[in-house]
Each structure stands twice: as structure tokens, then as C-alpha cells.
Amino acid sequence: MSTALRPAAKSAVEHGTLCWTAGRVRFELFSPDPSVIERARVVFGPWLNGVSGTHPLKARFVVEGEALQAGGRWRVVMDGSDAGTVDTLDLALAAVEYRSIVELLDPESGVVALHAALLSRHGRGVLLVGPKEAGKSTLACALWRAGWRFHSDDSAMLEEGGRARGVPRRVSLRPTSRELIGEGLWNRIASLPATTRTAAGGMLFHPYEVSRDDNQESAEVAAVIFLARLSSTTPAGELEGLDPARALLALWPYCHGRDAGIGPAIQSLQPLADRVPMFDLGRGVLATMVERIEEVVGT
């Protein structure tokens, strides 16, 4: 399978500046070093097309190298404020990714997003929601290995018409995922153009570089799956449906706009709760959990 990046719009790179859009806003990255812009084109490749000057600028970053006695380091500045200094260019661009997502998910950006993993198959998507250590990443990797498309491991943006797309950031794989996805796939991901090794021994990567069989960037949400929901008594490996009112309240803690208050958050999530069935899934054998999801999503 080809791992070449989609061609970026020529207008996206101009005079040392790279522009990309997400939701309704635009981000810019400037560097006097051409190598920074070239590497950033790879890291931000999926979001370079369709850049428009009509999108309001949300944040501007500057990445520049510093010559130190111990070797080169990289400085990241956001909107004139020093955001930090790191040892490698890839870590600097990962910091830009992270900060841009923080800015994007600010309630003032008008983006409705959930702290959830998003996967899809044949255009039908599933959102995996749950607290830390609930097993979202593990189940997401199991679905991916079973043939699902991996859109996002951490946050998903909701769109009109019951659709969702991943946030503009690479997916993160922990070292513990190595056994789940297999040595061959792990090594292949490590060799992809946009992959960055993390300090913890994991990787940041673009799933679309692994397979281009499905070019859809968004998916129709066919189900929301709760893992380890408080007060859930669902048996291991089994699915139990939630009534819309209970599901809506259960979703609220995972809404990125929750700081604006429960009222606005509930209002923004209501269309999803009205349209999409939601379930508790008891943690059990991974293969069984995957089967249950495939049954309810109809893939």
C-alpha cells in the first residue's frame, strides 16, 4: 500500500509559513528554517488542503532552532509567548499539535467535541467513551486490527447530521499496544513518514498512511459505546442499551465544552443523543467485545 502523502494546497505554504484548518478556525506555523516547514508539511499533511483566508486565525506558532553547546534544540512560541524548548524538531511539532488542539477545543471556537476514540467501517462509525484506564485504547486497537478505520484515539469533533471526525492530531500508540497490533504492524508504523517516537516509547502516527482503502475523513456515528460507566452493571463482554436521557447525562463529563456549564454542554450533545443509540459494554475478552460492537453497528 502506498504511504505517500496527499498533495497539499500550494497556497498553504508561503514565505516560511504553513497554514492548516480545523473546524471553523485556522492555524499558522512560521519558521525561518525551510526544514521545519518541510517536516511540518508531513506532520500536518491531512489538514493542509482547503485552507481559506476566510477562516479566523486561532493561533500562530513560531518554531526555530537554538544553537547550544550540547547540540541543537528547538524553541516553540505561540502568539508571542514562549511555549517551551525541546530537544528535537519532531517533539517541537508534536507540541504545536497539542497546543493547537487545546485552542481548537476551547468552547469559543464553536467546536462540539467529545473525549472519545472514533473508528469506522464502511462509513459507519463508533465512538468509544470512558474514563482513564477504561480500555478505550486497547479496544480501539482491537477494532483497528479487525479491519476498522482509526480516526482518533482521544477526541472527536461532532458534525451536523450525526457525523463525526477525528481532531487534527496524529493517533498515539502506547508501548502496551505493541502486542495488541502485532510486531509487523508496529514496525511498519514506525517507518511511516509522519511517525514520531514519544519519550514513553510509544508513537504518534497518521492511520491513513497505513491504509488508503477508505478516504472518508468523517463517519456517520452509528453507536456510542460507554466503557466503565459509573453505576453500570453490564456483564463482561455484553452490551446493554441506555435510554437517551441517561445517555445524555453520561456523555456530559466527556464533552470538551463542559467548562461552559452543564446547560450549554447538554444542549450541544442533544442532537447526538436523539439520533444515535448508546450502550454500556462490559469489559471482557477483546474478541467478544469487537463482535458485540460489529453486531450493533451492522458492519
DSSP string, 215-240: --SEEEEEEEEEES-TT--PPBT-EE
Say if residue 64 is exposed, middle or buried (CB neighbours under 10 Å; 0-12, 13-18, 19+). middle
Instruction: Tell me what the mean pLDDT of segment 9-26 comes to.
Output: 69
Matching residue, cell 513518514: 193
**Confidence (pLDDT) at 183:** 93
Which has the closest alpha carbon to 290: 116, 129, 145?
A: 145
**Confidence (pLDDT) at 4:** 31
Instruction: Tell me what the mean pLDDT of segment 62-91 comes to.
Output: 82
Instruction: Tell me what the mean pLDDT of segment 106-123 comes to.
Output: 88
Q: How far apart are CA 157 and CA 166, in angstroms?
A: 6
Topology of domain 113-297 in CATH is: Rossmann fold (3.40.50)
Average pLDDT of the chain is: 86
Matching residue, cell 442532537: 271
**Confidence (pLDDT) at 160:** 87
Contact predicate 95/124, CB 8 Å: no
pLDDT tens track for 195-227 = 999 988 999 999 888 875 555 678 999 999 999
- Tell me how far CA of residue 250 lies from CA of 34, 242, 275, in angstroms: 47, 10, 16
Contact predicate 76/94, CB 8 Å: no
Between residues 120 and 211, which one has the greater pLDDT? 120
Kindly give, in sequence order, each residue whose CB lies less than 8 Å from that of residue 186, ignoring residues fewer than 6 positions away: 173, 177, 178
Helix 136-145 vs helix 286-297: crossing angle, to nearest 10: 70
**Confidence (pLDDT) at 84:** 85
In the chain, CATH 3.40.50 sits at 113-297
Q: How far apart are CA 252 and CA 142, in angstroms?
A: 26
Please name the amino acid found at residue 130: G
**76: which strand partners?**
63, 84
Dihedral sign from CA coordinates of 219, 223, 226, 231:
positive
- Tell me how far CA of residue 3 lies from CA of 61, 138, 191, 195, 259, in angstroms: 28, 25, 10, 12, 39
Contact predicate 208/218, CB 8 Å: no
pLDDT tens track for 227-238 = 999 889 999 999
The helix/strand/coil state of 285 is coil
Q: Global pTM?
A: 0.85
Which has the closest alpha carbon to 223: 276, 272, 180?
A: 276
The helix/strand/coil state of 78 is strand
Say if residue 70 is exposed, middle or buried (CB neighbours under 10 Å; 0-12, 13-18, 19+). exposed
